[in-house]
Amino acid sequence: MSLKSKLHNFKEKHRSKKWLPAFSAIHTFLFMPNETTHGGTHIKAADDLKRTMNIVIMAMIPCLIFGMFNAGYQHHLAFGEIQAVSQGFFSPEFWTMENFLVGFWKIIPLVIVSYGVGLGIEFIFAIIKGHEVEEGYLVTGMLVPLIVPVDTPLWMLAVAVVFGVVIGKEVFGGTGMNILNPALTIRAFLFFAYPTWMSGDKVWVHGAVERANEIASGANLDAVSGETILGSLAQGLQHDYSISEMFLGFIPGSVGETSAILILLGGLFLIFTKIGSWRIMLSSVLGAIAMGLIFNSVVDAGIITEGSKFYGLMSTVWWHHLIIGGFAFGTVFMATDPVTASQTNKGKWIYGFLVGFISIMIRVFNPAYPEGVMLAILLMNVFAPTIDHYVVRGNVKKRMKRLKVKTA
Amino acid sequence: MALLSKKDSKLILDPLTDNNPITIQVLGICSALAITAELNASIVMAISVLFVLGLGNVVISLMRNIIPSKIRIIVQLVVVATLVIIVDQVLKAFAYELSKTLSVFVGLIITNCIIMGRFEAFALGNGPWRSFLDGVGNAAGYGIILVIVGFFRELLGSGTLLGFKVLGDPIEKTGIYAIGYENNGFMLLSPMALIVVGIIIWVQRTRNKALVEDH
């Protein structure tokens, strides 16, 4: 008897046990279930929920690997141990083993905590409710480590994951029923609960917080800071990152959000595999461009001058907004979440456009936290069903009219 | 209970659990969100509502046969407003700091749905003693939830209880970790009050399935 049929028999034998969902979650993850439907006509398709999730994770892997190198690179750069990159994407200063190891040991624990805690809750809820474990957390668990600062304490991440999965998803009925994107709920919880760990100029570079604590306790050391570009701009300061550095991702920021080019590749991959909606990505970029142009023209018209606290971000060239901060990452991987985004095609255009538009608006007008993508997507998540409702109503109305013309 | 008949004691005990004004009837949520960031504010608010609702119910019940039904809402408002102003003045005189924390929400007891709800639903149709018990019961049911929410929000949000330090500040920092309690700023924001009330509702309905509404 093969292992596969042994496992199947084991499952049949313990069918009534309470812990069975936990077993079959692992079982179906490794093997296709033996229980297939019989009779009738079925559409045969390879892309079930698990495969969909796996493709999204594959699209994020380059960002994760780059994030590991970047975490080490920012750490060594801030401590003055290496030179800044000089030769584009394949600079030898960047792709070193030292950089990778520093990032690896910082980021792998984040991934493990995120998956361990999140899947643990999924298992507990599946056992209590007596349904199969749903795969919804696979993508969330990978998104979470990519959208937090590298020096986030692990316990903090665990608390946030518990909150995000239970309050953001399970109370609504689990995977597919949630109103808000769970990964962003987790991020929002972290931001509102522990703002000092989610913003400022220390958390983005590994070791900066530790160095600040040492200085506070009397050590005679140089302070290390790693202000994000958005942070500098919001304070009206200049930053000295070149366009190519911003585009390629050699800048401080959350783990996976810095490299616009890898996110772009991931986005193209999602569009090519038809997992992500190109309508949402495109309209979101259009929305951001529209808002950026409005702000630029406000500055050009002289309404906002250098003295204003909004000048720094308002005068940022409109297309720079697309490659700094978390905008690209949010647009490609978060706004396109099929559960929380609009479902109708026309609704997707409206939803995406408003995500981009509001992102840049919050970014400029919220100096305390110069990143609006998270809040903009959460806001539009709430409105997505309303948008869909009116799109569907409009369609029904149009068809009713056509029907009347025909019958009359 | 020897003091109260079985029917009367039900008036007090029901609102505490299975007919709680906040978790079952979902009334009076606004103040539960606004003033529960500190435990002492919750307690003072609970006592104020207890005073207003207990006394108000008695007054309305005494007048129930002489109030013309067309203007009964205005009469009820006058009664609540009078009692609330008394509470407000007492707080200003004897607990000025607290009254500043509670700010406009003492005045807003007038608009607390529980109070008008009990006047309409109970005091207009029952005698003063039973109305008093009903008022006290409902105010206590409201107060219990306020105190529970205030307890968790102050404890987890500021690490204090009634202003005393309970959970210590982070000390002995090693790297990004420290021993101690890191205050959770989210607990101090209103959305968290809503979520805590939601969790109480969840727990209550899990323990007593009869409370789950059909839909």
Q: Over the stretch B130-154, which tens digit does the pLDDT of each residue have?
A: 899 999 999 999 999 999 999 999 9
Size of interface A-B (CB pairs under 8 A): 30
DSSP-assigned states of every residue in A182-210 = HHHHHHHHHHHH-HHHHSSSSTTSTTHHH
Cβ contact A194–B177 (<8 Å):
no
**Apex CA A130: angle with CA B17 and CA A125, to 5°?**
65
- Domain presence at residue B45: yes
DSSP-assigned states of every residue in B145-167 = HHHHHHHHHHHHHHSEETTEE-S
pLDDT exceeds cutoff 70 at A1: no
Cβ contact B186–A209 (<8 Å):
no
- Domain presence at residue B186: no
Q: In this structure, how many other beta carbons lie within 10 angstroms of the beta carbon of residue B126?
A: 18
- Domain presence at residue B44: yes
* Residue A369: alpha-carbon gap to chain centroid: 17
**A251 in Cβ contact with A241 (< 8 Å):** yes
Q: In this structure, how many other beta carbons lie within 10 angstroms of the beta carbon of residue A17?
A: 12
- Domain presence at residue B89: yes
The total number of structural domains that make up chain B: 1
Measured CA to CA, the distance from residue A402 to residue A391 in angstroms comes to 17
Would you call A125 an interface residue with chain B, using a CB distance cutoff of 8 Å? no
Q: Over the stretch A286-311, which tens digit does the pLDDT of each residue have?
A: 999 999 999 888 888 877 777 777 78
- Structure tokens belonging to residue A174: 């689990």
Give the range of the structural domain holding residue B61, as residue numbers without chain letter: 22-151
Greater confidence, B104 or B43?
B43
- Domain presence at residue B176: no
Measured CA to CA, the distance from residue A191 to residue A378 in angstroms comes to 13
The Cα of B176 is separated from the nearest Cα of chain A by a number of Å equal to: 6
Q: What percent of chain B shows pLDDT beyond 70? A: 96
Q: Over the stretch A378-408, which tens digit does the pLDDT of each residue have?
A: 999 999 999 999 999 999 999 999 888 877 6
- Domain presence at residue B166: no
Cβ contact A194–B182 (<8 Å):
yes
Would you call A9 an interface residue with chain B, using a CB distance cutoff of 8 Å? no
Would you call A151 an interface residue with chain B, using a CB distance cutoff of 8 Å? yes
Measured CA to CA, the distance from residue A369 to residue A354 in angstroms comes to 19
- Domain presence at residue B201: no
Q: What percent of chain A shows pLDDT beyond 70? A: 93
Mean pLDDT of A219-224: 73
Band of pLDDT at residue B1, cut at 50, 70 and 90: very low
Task: Name the residue in chain A with its Cα closest to that of B170.
Answer: A213
- Domain presence at residue B9: no
Band of pLDDT at residue A33, cut at 50, 70 and 90: low
Reported ipTM: 0.84
Cβ contact B182–A156 (<8 Å):
yes
Measured CA to CA, the distance from residue B196 to residue A173 in angstroms comes to 18
Would you call B186 an interface residue with chain A, using a CB distance cutoff of 8 Å? yes
**A341 in Cβ contact with A276 (< 8 Å):** no
pLDDT exceeds cutoff 70 at A36: no
Cα of first residue to Cα of last residue in chain A, in angstroms, is 69
Cβ contact A194–B175 (<8 Å):
no
Cβ contact B186–A193 (<8 Å):
yes
Measured CA to CA, the distance from residue A299 to residue A311 in angstroms comes to 8
- Structure tokens belonging to residue A64: 């994760």
Q: Over the stretch B69-104, which tens digit does the pLDDT of each residue have?
A: 889 889 999 999 999 999 999 988 988 888 888 878
Q: Over the stretch A350-376, which tens digit does the pLDDT of each residue have?
A: 999 999 999 999 888 876 776 788 999
Q: Over the stretch A75-102, which tens digit does the pLDDT of each residue have?
A: 888 888 888 777 777 887 788 888 899 8
- Structure tokens belonging to residue B8: 């009367």
Would you call B215 an interface residue with chain A, using a CB distance cutoff of 8 Å? no
pLDDT at residue number A32: 57
Cβ contact B198–A213 (<8 Å):
no
pTM exceeds 0.90: no
Band of pLDDT at residue B3, cut at 50, 70 and 90: low
Average pLDDT score over chain B: 85
The residue among A182, A181, A178, A176 whose CA lies nearest residue A161 is A182
Would you call B195 an interface residue with chain A, using a CB distance cutoff of 8 Å? yes
Cβ contact B185–A153 (<8 Å):
no
